[in-house]
Amino acid sequence: MNFRRILTASPLFVALAGFYDPALSQAPASPRPKDALVSAYNATGERLFQDLAQAPGNIVLSPYSIGSALSMVLAGARGETATAIGDTLGLHLSDVDLASANSGLIAGLNAASGKDSVTLNSANALIEVKSGIVDADYRALLQKSYDAEAFTGDLDAINEWVAQKTSGKISHILSDLPDDTALVLANAAYLKAFWQNPFDKRVTKDGPFHLSALNAVQVPMMHDEDNYALVKGDGYNAIRLPYRSDNGRLGMIVVLPDTVNGVAALAAKLGPDQLAELLADLNAASTIDVRLQVPRFHADFQKSLAAPLQKAGMGLAFEMGRADFSGVTGKPTADLPIAIGDVVHHAVIDVNEESSEAAAATVVEEWAGAMAPENRPVPVPFIVDRPFLFFIVDQQTGAVLFQGRIADPRK
């Protein structure tokens, strides 16, 4: 029987996969469990993104959504299987610390929602497709520490749950459910956040967006002049666009390469350590007057993460008869073998003058996000007229909720 599918979905949240770097586990000081969890999710998302970025087109994923779904898988793994998953995620916490850190992160992110500014929801689920597979202790652990809903369901029930939790941004995540699917672990994330400095729709006008050095298209470009945190890096500039959230904790970071064709090289060199450094630099930067132009954009991305995860080191978890998920079943592998059949991630993002709206879902099948006055400095231009990277980040927890690459804002 297969523990067939892991799903993640969210309007601006996407998926996860990782390439474990042993150097990440050799830090001289041990971070707090929740910080270690966030770092692992961010790093895994970045490594997965680098793998996905080798193909052309728009990408949207949610490191948080993917990490949440795979943490539930890790909670039920034992022995070498647990080691392989932990190594792939760069996550080495005790069962107690893993559960506690996830519980704290969920509570912290859900607390970011505000009445008139931010809607941020994250939901987990254990859907039992076949009865008699899931041990009561595992079900209780997911309900207590992952705030997971547990219910019996089929393909329609899984898609309906995802659609409900993502406010309809993702209407369905699975088109079929193999006969040997025993259970599905799912995370769905949804974000709708209003800009702290809204763009004026009256000044939005078509402008060029350079898809490449030889090809430009006209797209609606939003305009603003205000104070923003801005940093210069090697081959790029980055800006933080805050949302109207508690203490400005949520924001979108746009990373713009210096050259029209520079996004591929930028994605390749902006690894987990470089991303962490960039986020720290933006948090520490003073705001300056910026003349901003950024396109409206939409992106919709769905991908199976099974191959990247296996390549990253999680192969054992996909091998029927060898994978040890006895923590899920409460029975020895020889008596009730299950393995991961697929990991599916779907993420969507919409950005306009008023807000950003994003959703992501991750599912894991287991088979049994004017001129300046004379006394004012001339504003610094930041014109997003070529392919770029984006990250939606919660400064309070450090979690990257969504990230991606916009190669064409029209799609």
Domains observed in the chain? 2-195+298-367 (3.30.497.10), 201-296+374-406 (2.30.39.10)
* 5 Cβ neighbours under 8 A, 6+ residues apart: 174, 177, 181, 184, 340, 341, 342, 343, 344, 363, 364, 365, 366
- The answer to whether the CB of 270 falls within 8 A of the CB of 46 is yes
How much is the pLDDT for 22? 37
pLDDT band of residue 115 (cuts 50, 70, 90) is: low
Long-range pairs, 314-323, Cβ under 8 A, ≥24: 314/84, 314/85, 314/88, 314/340, 315/84, 316/80, 316/81, 316/84, 317/73, 317/77, 317/81, 317/84, 317/85, 320/2, 320/367, 322/81, 323/3, 323/77, 323/81
How much is the pLDDT for 261? 96
Direct distance between the N- and C-terminal alpha carbons of the chain, in angstroms, rounded to an integer: 39
For the cut 80, the answer to whether the pLDDT of residue 381 exceeds it is yes
pLDDT band of residue 247 (cuts 50, 70, 90) is: confident
Put simply, whether the predicted model's pTM sits higher than 0.85 gets the answer yes
pLDDT band of residue 108 (cuts 50, 70, 90) is: confident
Tell me the mean pLDDT in the region 339-347.
95
pLDDT in tens, 199-228: 999 999 999 999 999 999 999 999 999 999
How much is the pLDDT for 107? 87
Classified as helix, coil or strand, 327 is: helix
Tell me which of 14-28, 334-348, 374-388 is least confident. Answer: 14-28
The CA distances from residue 143 to 7, 93, 99, 139, 162, in Å, are 17, 19, 11, 6, 18
For the cut 60, the answer to whether the pLDDT of residue 407 exceeds it is yes
How much is the pLDDT for 109? 87
Tell me the mean pLDDT in the region 121-139.
94
Choose among 241, 191, 140, 200: nearest CA to 348: 191
The CA distances from residue 95 to 69, 73, 76, in Å, are 15, 12, 10
Strand partners, 355: 194
DSSP code string of 16-66: ------GGGGG-SSPPPHHHHHHHHHHHHHHHHHHHHTTS-S-EEE-HHHH
The one-letter amino acid code at 392 reads: I
How much is the pLDDT for 122? 86
pLDDT band of residue 376 (cuts 50, 70, 90) is: low
For the cut 90, the answer to whether the pLDDT of residue 377 exceeds it is no
- Determine the Cα–Cα distance for residues 203 and 209; give it in Å rounded to an integer: 17
How much is the pLDDT for 371? 37
pLDDT band of residue 72 (cuts 50, 70, 90) is: very high
- The answer to whether the CB of 334 falls within 8 A of the CB of 85 is no
How much is the pLDDT for 351? 95
